[in-house]
Amino acid sequence: MKKFVVGNWKMNGTTTGVQEYAQGLIQILPAASCEIGIAVPSLYLPQLSARLGATSVAVVAQDVSQFKGPGAYTGEISAQMLKDAGCTHVLIGHSERRHVFAEDDLVLVGKIACAVDAGLVPIICIGEELHIRQQGRYLEELARQLAVIERTRDLLPATVWVAYEPVWAIGTGLVASTAQISEAHAFLADKLRELLPKSKTARLLYGGSVKGSNAAEILALPGVDGVLVGSASLTVSELGAIIAGTKVALPA
Q: How far is the CB of 172 from ligand PGA (least distance, A)?
A: 7
Do you find a cis peptide bond into 41, omega within 30 degrees of 0? no
Q: How far is the CB of 232 from ligand PGA (least distance, A)?
A: 6
Q: Which residues partner with 37 through β-bridges? A: 6, 58
At 79, give phi and psi (nearest 5°). Answer: -60, -40
**CA nearest to 229, candidates 217, 250, 243:** 243
40, 170, 243, 249: residue in contact with ligand PGA (rule CB under 6 A)? 170
Q: Is 209 exposed, middle or buried (0-12, 13-18, 19+ CB in 10 A)?
A: buried
Mutual angle of helices 212-219 and 236-249, in 10-degree steps: 30
Q: Rounded to whole angstroms, what are the CA distances from 71 to 41, 68, 78, 81?
A: 22, 8, 9, 12
Establish whether 185 is a catalytic residue. no
- Per-residue x/- track, 85-124, ligand PGA (CB under 6 A): ----------------------------------------
118, 189, 228, 236: residue in contact with ligand PGA (rule CB under 6 A)? 228
- Does 61 contact ligand PGA by CB under 6 A? no
- Does 162 contact ligand PGA by CB under 6 A? no
- Does 212 contact ligand PGA by CB under 6 A? no
Window of 116-124, 129-137, 224-232, 236-244 that interacts with ligand PGA by CB under 6 A: 224-232
- Does 230 contact ligand PGA by CB under 6 A? yes
- Does 231 contact ligand PGA by CB under 6 A? yes
**What is the CA 129 to chain-centroid distance, rounded?**
18
For residues 114 and 110, what is the distance between their CA atoms, to the nearest angstrom?
A: 6
Q: Rounded to whole angstroms, what are the CA distances from 211 to 5, 51, 250?
A: 11, 25, 18
**Set 89, 94, 96, 128: catalytic member:** 94
Nearer to ligand PGA, 196 or 210 (CB): 210
Establish whether 99 is a catalytic residue. no
- Which active-site residues does the annotation give? 94, 165
Q: Which residues bind ligand PGA (CB under 6 A)?
A: 8, 165, 170-171, 207-210, 228-232
